[in-house]
Chain A
Amino acid sequence: MGEYFKNIYKAIVTILIGMGVTWRHLFTRAVTIQYPHVKRELPPRSRQKLFVDIDDCIGCFQCARACPVDCIDIETVKAGKEEDLGETSTGQKKRLHVVKFDIDLTKCCYCADCVFPCPTECIVMTPKYEFSTYDRFDLIEHFSAYSAEEAEKLKERDRKEKEALAAARAAKMQAAPKPPSSDKPGPSA
Chain B
Amino acid sequence: MKKDNLPAAQFEVEVPDTLKTEEMTLNMGPQHPSTHGVLRVVLKTDGEIIKSAEPVIGYLHRCFEKHAENVTWHQVIPFTDRLDYIASMNNNLGYVIGLERMMNLQVNERAEYLRVIVSELNRIASHLIALGTYGLDIGAFTPFLYVFRDRERILDLFEEICGARLLYNYIWVGGVAYDAPQGWRDKVLQFIDYFVPKIKEYNDILTYNKIFIDRTAKVGVIPADVAINYGLSGPSLRGSGVEFDLRKDDPYSIYDRFDFNVCTGKGQMGTVGDTWDRYWVRVAEMYESAKIVRQAAEQLPEGDAKETVPRNIKVPAGEYYMRTETPRGELGYYIISDGGKTPNRVKVRSPAYCNLSVLPAIAPGVMVADMVAIIGSLDIVLGEVDR
Interface of A toward B, CB cutoff 8 Å:
7, 10-11, 13-15, 17-18, 20-22, 31, 42-43, 45-47, 66, 68, 109-113, 116-117, 125
Which positions 168-188 of chain B face chain A at CB distance < 8 Å? 169, 177-178, 181
Which positions 239-274 of chain B face chain A at CB distance < 8 Å? none
| Cross-chain contact B163 with A21 (CB below 8 angstroms) | no
**Residue B116 at the chain A interface, CB threshold 8 Å:** no
| Cross-chain contact B167 with A111 (CB below 8 angstroms) | yes
Partner of A20, one of B161, B204, B208, B311: B204
What are 15 sample pairs from A and B whose C-beta atoms fall under 8 A apart? Answer: A7-B214, A14-B208, A15-B210, A17-B204, A22-B142, A43-B159, A43-B160, A45-B161, A47-B164, A68-B75, A111-B78, A111-B167, A111-B169, A112-B163, A116-B311
Beyond A68-B79, A112-B163, whether A7 also contacts B210 by CB under 8 A is yes
Besides A45-B178, A47-B164, A112-B163, 10 new A-B residue pairs in contact (Cβ under 8 A), listed by A number:
A15-B209, A15-B210, A43-B181, A45-B181, A46-B159, A109-B78, A110-B164, A111-B78, A111-B81, A116-B311
| Cross-chain contact B71 with A18 (CB below 8 angstroms) | no
Enumerate chain A residues within 8 angstroms of B164, measured Cβ to Cβ: 47, 110
CB distance from B204 to the nearest CB of A (A): 5
**Residue B69 at the chain A interface, CB threshold 8 Å:** no
CB distance from B161 to the nearest CB of A (A): 7
**Residue B205 at the chain A interface, CB threshold 8 Å:** yes
A109 to B177, CA, bound (A): 16
Enumerate chain A residues within 8 angstroms of B367, measured Cβ to Cβ: none
**Residue B74 at the chain A interface, CB threshold 8 Å:** yes
CB-CB nearest in chain A for B71: A68
**Residue B32 at the chain A interface, CB threshold 8 Å:** no
CB distance from B152 to the nearest CB of A (A): 7
Enumerate chain A residues within 8 angstroms of B71, measured Cβ to Cβ: 68
CB distance from B205 to the nearest CB of A (A): 4
CB-CB nearest in chain A for B208: A14
**Residue B201 at the chain A interface, CB threshold 8 Å:** yes
| Cross-chain contact A47 with B75 (CB below 8 angstroms) | no
CB-CB nearest in chain B for A10: B210
A129 to B210, CA, bound (A): 44
**Residue B121 at the chain A interface, CB threshold 8 Å:** no
Enumerate chain A residues within 8 angstroms of B177, measured Cβ to Cβ: 112, 116
Partner of A43, one of B79, B142, B163: B163
A7 to B159, CA, bound (A): 46
CB distance from B369 to the nearest CB of A (A): 18
CB-CB nearest in chain B for A9: B210
Q: Closest 4 CB pairs between A and B?
A: A47-B163, A68-B75, A111-B78, A11-B210
Partner of B204, one of A21, A42, A43, A46: A21
CB distance from A20 to the nearest CB of B (A): 7
CB-CB nearest in chain B for A67: B75
**Residue B192 at the chain A interface, CB threshold 8 Å:** no
A31 to B152, CA, bound (A): 10
Enumerate chain B residues within 8 angstroms of A14, measured Cβ to Cβ: 208-211
CB distance from B61 to the nearest CB of A (A): 17
CB distance from A23 to the nearest CB of B (A): 11
Partner of A45, one of B79, B160, B204, B209: B160
Enumerate chain B residues within 8 angstroms of A113, measured Cβ to Cβ: 74-75, 78, 169
Which positions 56-110 of chain B face chain A at CB distance < 8 Å? 71, 74-79, 81
| Cross-chain contact A66 with B311 (CB below 8 angstroms) | yes
CB distance from A7 to the nearest CB of B (A): 7
CB distance from A42 to the nearest CB of B (A): 7
| Cross-chain contact A125 with B149 (CB below 8 angstroms) | no
**Residue B361 at the chain A interface, CB threshold 8 Å:** no
| Cross-chain contact A18 with B209 (CB below 8 angstroms) | yes
CB-CB nearest in chain A for B81: A111
| Cross-chain contact B205 with A22 (CB below 8 angstroms) | yes
Which positions 193-220 of chain B face chain A at CB distance < 8 Å? 201, 204-206, 208-211, 214
Enumerate chain A residues within 8 angstroms of B210, measured Cβ to Cβ: 7, 10-11, 13-15
| Cross-chain contact A21 with B159 (CB below 8 angstroms) | no
A162 to B332, CA, bound (A): 52
CB distance from A142 to the nearest CB of B (A): 24
